[in-house]
Structure 1
Amino acid sequence: MSSAWRRVRRRWSSSLRLRLMFGSAVLAVLFMLALLPALRSAFLIALEQSVEKRLAADAGILISAARTDDGKLTMPNQLPDEEFDIPDAQLLGFIYDRDANLLWQSRSAQDIAVVYLPQYDGGGNRLLRITDRSGAEFYVYDVEVNLLRGESAAFSIVTMQPASDTQTLYRGFMNQLYLWLGVALLVLLGLLWFGLTWGFRSLRGLRKELDEVEAGTRANLSEEHPSELLRLTSSLNRLLNSERQQRERYRHSLDDLAHSLKTPLSVLQGTSEIIASKPENREQTRILQGQIERMSQQISYQLQRASLRKSGLVRHRVPLQHLIDNLCEALDKVYRDKQVTVQRQFDPWLEIPMERAALLELMGNLLENAYRLCLGQVRIKASIAQGVCELCVEDDGPGVPIDQRERILRRGERLDAQHPGQGIGTAVVKDILESYGGELFVEDSELGGAAFRVCI
């Protein structure tokens, strides 16, 4: 469970669109939550205003029906609004005097145990909510009357109705409100996702162009992007051009250095051959030629090491089959006396994500070691799975003891003293892999010899 949660967190944190969508969704939910009490309050205000208008109209009916005779209140037996005369009706009517004495109540209020004492204080009219002895709530509208048909009077005309009807209406409204706000939230989230998807089309176009740059099918990024991204694309184009120019200058400098060193070494080699013509100088000549050869190999190694660097934005892919064929053809001529058999265990269409020169140097060193030490069989395996490229070169030679495997990866270390060399081949391979973030493993081969396995 924890690993699945970590994967989900990594996915959310690595996707800008998902992070923006999550933030927008949180803001939308917070907005809906803030809107809910405002809508609820507005509905309650409108509901109470509607109740007040109805009760005020009913109070007006009672006022119009009331009569005074020598200051005494008289009410007709039949009121204009029949609901006042129906027992157990929802509309209740009361009339109180200045001292809060009940003078009259409608037939609908005969069995209602509502205790209400009006306050005749000149306030005009008011809307209240009260609770009877049974816990039922009522809306109460109290209007003070000072004149009744032109005569001086002091009465409180009170109309009531149960709050249960409005509570039912309120619950229905809240259920509908929750439903419509939920639907509105889903629609809003859908529109946000559509808007973000449409807005990120420009980033997808930029990603596509970057993939083309990495694949080598495009030299630079285009300017057909939103203005907010133009500075980024311009910076990337300058970086690409700078990298190409720097790489070109670097290669020219290395070529010049190699050419300038090649001539003095050739002169020294020729001089050593002249000196070797005298028998008494053969030992000194052997030492001189050995040192010249060592200098040549060390210079080659340092030039190769300096030129090995992984490209920044440009991704190279080299067909492995053709490169192996060329290397094996050359090594078969060098070791033609061995009659080496090479087994290829990889797909013919397989492409390795490296520069051709680096891959040629890497496989050349591994295959040269395998040819040199094998008895007659060499096997090459390669595969790419889950973003990992694996190359393996095996032979049926003497192999490498476990306690010596780290040693041979160090520059200048060799286990076989019977063959010429300076022990820098595996060091070059290791340097190449370090520049690509790869690793080299020395293992036992099923053929009986050593297996050099490369993971990139």
Structure 2
Amino acid sequence: MRPLSLRLRLMLLGGATILLVMALSVTMLAVLFDRHVQRVAVSDLRDRALVLLSVIEPGTPPQMRDQPRNPSWQLPFSGHYWQVWLGDQPLRSRSLWDVTLPVPADAPPPGEGRVLQLDGPGDQRLLALDQQVLIGQGATASPIRLIVAEDMEDSAQARAAFLRDLVPWLAGLAALLLAASFVQVTLGLRPLAQVGAHLRGLAQGRRRRLGDDLPSEVAPLARQLDHLLDDRDRELDRARHRAGDLAHGFKTPLQALLGDAEALRDLGRTEQADSIEHVVTVMRRHVDRELARARIRTDAAQARAHPAPIVARLVQVLRRTPAGAGLDWQVDLPQAVALRIDPDDLTEALGALLENAARHAQSRVWVGMRADDDRTAVIIRDDGPGVPDAELARLAQRGVRLDQGGDGQGIGLAIVTDIAEAAGGRLELINMLPGLAAELHLPRHPD
């Protein structure tokens, strides 16, 4: 399963955090609004309790000379109620009709009040203020308990209206924060894009190392990668030198074996001499190939070569050879094109292909070029007999060594293949009927 990108991860995390904060904000604002509404309602209930006390006259027991004239206390089940205990029996507002509010048996201390939530008539939920006061003076003062209540439906409707007004604003704020989070993530990840650009420049040969011109957060990573590249280059250099030393070490013993084979032939032991020469030839072929591979540059990303002047020099040399002297050499290469390969490696690869074409051509060798995306194919075509299709298919198979091919192939094509692969390219052989086309596909230099 492919992991999510850093940008998507940060955006999801930031979006989830913003939405969570918005949800918590809505909840907290709703709670604060409810508390504010309740404080306002309790303050209104205290004012109503004072109005109710104003119609109670001191006495033994105290008397209510008349009920308050508030219309909301006169309309049955209006949602605004009062209940007073002047003795054992409670007096109720006309709005309660025949309903008695269910209140706790114990009254609050005189001079204090408490806020209650009670069940009212018609399944109403009431917010009530329960108070006990003393009417009169001194020892003749009489305690009076009174409750003033109102329906909480008005508070619920006010809360719903508040949330309806609040949610669009919070949604707009959330959208603004999400946009700001996107900008923040984009700007924060820009240094990683800079690292990617440096890596592309490294792969395309425009940079030798990532360098230190990066933000401090990613600079240690860049330095570690540069150290790894330095270690790799040193290790490759040592391996190439060891391979070259080993191959050179074999050349002298092989030359001595050829001398022994010649001595055996002089003694008349032709069969043994031929066997030794065959073995030595095979071994020298392997040694020559390893020497050529040891010379291949492994830092092709930093290399640059122009194929046009290289082909011109090689053709000039081949015109003076017996195989190339009588051929019509047609070269059509633009001078400005540069390939991402070491010039010596390109010279060796093109030399092998041109020499092979001169050896098999009947009368003409054509050299051209074709651009394919970020690569360029140098095409060398002759008008010779070509290669049998069965052999060509076998040579194109993955893992088959070209130096085991048919007549005249030797190790030249194997060396060209090694050079092309080391530079990030490939060698492709195509039967043209007549002739054979060798296409050397190599990365094009950005310059």
What TM-score results when the alignment is normalised by the length of structure 2? 0.73
**How many Å apart are 1:122 and its aligned residue?**
1.9
What corresponds to 1:185 in structure 2?
A: 174
Give the counterpart letter for 2:36 in structure 1. A
Give the counterpart letter for 1:117 in structure 2. P
The 5 Å alignment of 1:336-415 reads: 336-342=324-330, 344=332, 349-375=336-362, 376-378=364-366, 380-385=368-373, 393-408=380-395, 410-415=401-406
The 5 Å alignment of 1:276-291 reads: none
Q: Is the 8 A contact 2:353 2:438 kept in 1?
A: yes
Distance 1:176 1:307 in 2: 78
Of residues 428-437 and 284-293 in structure 1, the stretch that sits farther from structure 2 once superposed is 284-293
Could you give the per-residue CA deviations for residues 101-133 of structure 1, whole angstroms, max 9, x where no partner exists? 552426xx37x8976333342245333154642
Matched, 1:118 2:108: no
Q: Is the 8 A contact 1:374 1:449 kept in 2?
A: yes
What corresponds to 2:19 in structure 1?
A: 29
Q: Is the 8 A contact 1:130 1:140 kept in 2?
A: no
Could you give the per-residue CA deviations for residues 383-409 of structure 1, whole angstroms, max 9, x where no partner exists? 232x66666554443233332224445
Q: Is the 8 A contact 1:358 1:432 kept in 2?
A: yes
What corresponds to 1:6 in structure 2?
A: none
Distance 1:365 1:75 in 2: 127
**How many Å apart are 1:171 and its aligned residue?**
1.9
Q: RCO higher in 1 or 2 (8 Å CA, sep ≥ 6)?
A: 2
Give the counterpart letter for 2:225 in structure 1. L
Of residues 164-173 and 27-36 in structure 1, the stretch that sits farther from structure 2 once superposed is 27-36
| C-alpha spacing 1:436/1:23, structure 2 compared with 1 (3 Å) | farther
What corresponds to 1:429 in structure 2?
A: 416
| C-alpha spacing 1:148/1:251, structure 2 compared with 1 (3 Å) | same
Q: Secondary structure at the match of 1:398?
A: coil
Q: Is the 8 A contact 1:100 1:119 kept in 2?
A: no
Distance 2:21 2:334 in 1: 57
Give the counterpart letter for 1:400 in structure 2. V
Count of matched residue pairs: 429
Give the counterpart letter for 2:359 in structure 1. R
Distance 2:149 2:63 in 1: 17
What corresponds to 1:175 in structure 2?
A: 164
| C-alpha spacing 1:115/1:77, structure 2 compared with 1 (3 Å) | closer
Q: Secondary structure at the match of 1:122?
A: coil
Could you give the per-residue CA deviations for residues 295-348 of structure 1, whole angstroms, max 9, x where no partner exists? 554322111234447449x5545444444444444444444344244464x876
What corresponds to 1:5 in structure 2?
A: none
**How many Å apart are 1:152 and its aligned residue?**
1.3
Give unpaired runs (5+ residues) of structure 2.
443-447
Give the counterpart letter for 2:403 in structure 1. G
Q: Secondary structure at the match of 1:127?
A: strand
The 5 Å alignment of 1:205-354 reads: 205-216=194-205, 218-249=207-238, 296-308=284-296, 310-311=298-299, 314-334=301-321, 335-342=323-330, 344=332, 349-354=336-341
Distance 1:325 1:152 in 2: 126
Identity fraction in percent: 24
Q: Is the 8 A contact 1:120 1:144 kept in 2?
A: no
Distance 1:427 1:99 in 2: 118
Of residues 86-95 and 233-242 in structure 1, the stretch that sits farther from structure 2 once superposed is 86-95
1:166 to 155, 160, 163: 155
Distance 1:331 1:19 in 2: 62
| C-alpha spacing 1:144/1:131, structure 2 compared with 1 (3 Å) | closer
Of residues 371-380 and 251-260 in structure 1, the stretch that sits farther from structure 2 once superposed is 251-260
Give the counterpart letter for 2:43 in structure 1. K
Q: Is the 8 A contact 2:304 2:338 kept in 1?
A: yes
Of residues 151-160 and 329-338 in structure 1, the stretch that sits farther from structure 2 once superposed is 329-338
Distance 1:373 1:102 in 2: 126
Q: Secondary structure at the match of 1:415?
A: coil
Distance 2:26 2:379 in 1: 66
**How many Å apart are 1:141 and its aligned residue?**
0.9
| C-alpha spacing 1:397/1:196, structure 2 compared with 1 (3 Å) | same
**How many Å apart are 1:443 and its aligned residue?**
3.8
What TM-score results when the alignment is normalised by the length of structure 1? 0.72
What corresponds to 2:34 in structure 1?
A: 44
Could you give the per-residue CA deviations for residues 159-185 of structure 1, whole angstroms, max 9, x where no partner exists? 21x434322321233234433433333
Distance 2:287 2:341 in 1: 24
**How many Å apart are 1:370 and its aligned residue?**
3.3
Distance 2:429 2:417 in 1: 12
Q: Secondary structure at the match of 1:352?
A: coil
Q: Is the 8 A contact 2:251 2:287 kept in 1?
A: no
Could you give the per-residue CA deviations for residues 76-113 of structure 1, whole angstroms, max 9, x where no partner exists? 4665xx5647859977232243799552426xx37x89
What corresponds to 1:450 in structure 2?
A: 436
Distance 2:294 2:13 in 1: 48
**How many Å apart are 1:211 and its aligned residue?**
4.6
| C-alpha spacing 1:343/1:185, structure 2 compared with 1 (3 Å) | farther
Distance 2:12 2:155 in 1: 39
What corresponds to 1:64 in structure 2?
A: 54
| C-alpha spacing 1:216/1:455, structure 2 compared with 1 (3 Å) | closer
